[in-house]
Amino acid sequence: MPLPDCLYCRRDQRLHDVMIPITSLQVFLLDLFKEQTHRGRCLVAYQGHVNKLFELAAPELP
């Protein structure tokens, strides 16, 4: 369930200020950080909202 104050759930201007959307996968989103001190730094985020990996259903696990 998306949370109203979660940066990754909202995917609003705050997120776009720091990341570049790359692609949407089956259940995950891939974003590249604009700040590239660590070259290639990216984020793979679940399209819903979970706090821990064990909260994902088996078919959604990477």
pLDDT tens-digit readout, 19-50 = 999 999 888 899 999 999 999 999 988 888 78
Distances 18 to 1, 15, 53, 61 between C-alpha atoms, Å: 23, 6, 24, 26
Q: What is the pLDDT of residue 19?
A: 95
- Higher-confidence residue: 53 or 42? 42
Q: Give the lowest-confidence range in 3-7, 12-16, 43-47, 58-62.
A: 58-62
Q: pTM score, two decimals? A: 0.74
Q: Looking at this protein, which amino acid is placed at residue 47?
A: Q
Q: 19 with 10: CB under 8 angstroms? A: no
Q: What is the pLDDT of residue 56?
A: 81
Identify the burial level of 44 via C-beta atoms within 10 angstroms of its C-beta, where 0-12 means exposed, 13-18 middle and 19 or more buried: exposed
